[in-house]
Amino acid sequence: MVTLAELCIVACSEAFRGNGEVIATGVGPVPRLAASLAKLTHSPELMMTDGEAYLVEDPVPLGPRGYDDRKAAGHLPFSRFFDSAVWTGRRHAMVTPTQIDRFGQINLSQLGGTHKHPKTQMLGVRGFPGNTIYHPNSFFFPAHGPRVFVEGEVDMVSGVGYNPAKRIAGGNYTGVDLRLIVTNLCVMDFGGRGNAVRVVSLHPGVTFDEVQAATGFALEKGELAETAMPTDEQLAIINRLDPHNIRGSVIKDNPPAKRSAA
């Protein structure tokens, strides 16, 4: 049975379609499988690493494998990552922040309290400030809910969004380019009025009202379609790239793609 995770992988892979020769970075199992699937199907021009420092033309599978199984076609270490990928805009990253708000501002740093004394410390901003001002970004959330899609603004703005009040006057924000949001319920983009978040497709059996109820801010309604099911070819590639079925642990209870099949 096709799983919801597999449907999400295919939906996420669409974010990388036609991006050109850029580094496709998927952080986490679903985004990474999505970037790899995109490269192996509709967008072979994409570039990607083995997750460490080598560029590979054949995406590496998830999980345990021989260290030298990956065949390096090039080299892109962190020591050159800002020069070569981020600050030159030659990258599209798909990540999973802890929070996102109606402006597309994201948070990976801390929750609650103050900056000096946070209630919950997370990773830190990592590369989010640079990623979001220089190159396209998309997002995947395995558990769509109001704690992720927050009312108001995120607790700590770690990535640039479309919030005019947050933009220091005179700065160059032309690189800010938020693309797709894929969740366990739907696919959204920033194509609403003033870059508002807009639902563009619903996963099989999901209603717009359900998505709205799980979101802390008002959503716009696009030309709603049903999210496409994976094809047999896509499923075969996903299987090969994830031989240990790590994708099965991403969404709670690993539900099927079609709710009626439950």
Contact positions toward another protein, by CB under 8 A?
Answer: 50-54, 63-65, 67, 77-79, 82, 86-87, 105, 109-110, 113, 115-130, 132-134, 156-161, 163, 166-173, 175-176
**Nearer to another protein among residue 190 and residue 200 (C-beta):** 190
User: Which residue has tokens 């805009």?
Assistant: 89
Task: Compute the least distance from the CB of residue 30 to another protein, in Å.
Answer: 16
**Whole-angstrom distance, CA of residue 158 vs CA of residue 128:** 6
DSSP H stretches of helix in 96-176: 128-134
Within 8 A by CB and 6+ apart from 209, the residues are none
Task: Compute the least distance from the CB of residue 158 to another protein, in Å.
Answer: 6
* Residues 49 and 90 sit within 8 Å (Cβ to Cβ): no
**Nearer to another protein among residue 85 and residue 187 (C-beta):** 85
Task: Compute the least distance from the CB of residue 259 to another protein, in Å.
Answer: 31
**Whole-angstrom distance, CA of residue 141 vs CA of residue 247:** 13
Pick from 53, 63, 140, 64: nearest CA to 100: 140
**Taking phi first (over 0 means left), then psi (-120 to 50 degrees means alpha), and beta for anything else, what does residue 168 get?**
beta
**Nearer to another protein among residue 1 and residue 170 (C-beta):** 170
**Whole-angstrom distance, CA of residue 24 vs CA of residue 31:** 10
Specify the 3-state DSSP secondary structure of 212. Answer: helix
Structure tokens at 114: 């103050």
**Whole-angstrom distance, CA of residue 201 vs CA of residue 198:** 9
Task: Return the DSSP state at 246.
Answer: G
Task: Compute the least distance from the CB of residue 86 to another protein, in Å.
Answer: 6
* Residues 157 and 189 sit within 8 Å (Cβ to Cβ): no
Task: Compute the least distance from the CB of residue 12 to another protein, in Å.
Answer: 19
**Nearer to another protein among residue 17 and residue 119 (C-beta):** 119
Phi and psi torsions of 245, nearest 5°: 55, 45
Task: Compute the least distance from the CB of residue 215 to another protein, in Å.
Answer: 22
**Nearer to another protein among residue 78 and residue 221 (C-beta):** 78
Task: Compute the least distance from the CB of residue 125 to another protein, in Å.
Answer: 6
**Nearer to another protein among residue 172 and residue 260 (C-beta):** 172
**Nearer to another protein among residue 107 and residue 184 (C-beta):** 107
User: Which residue has tokens 């994409």?
Assistant: 46
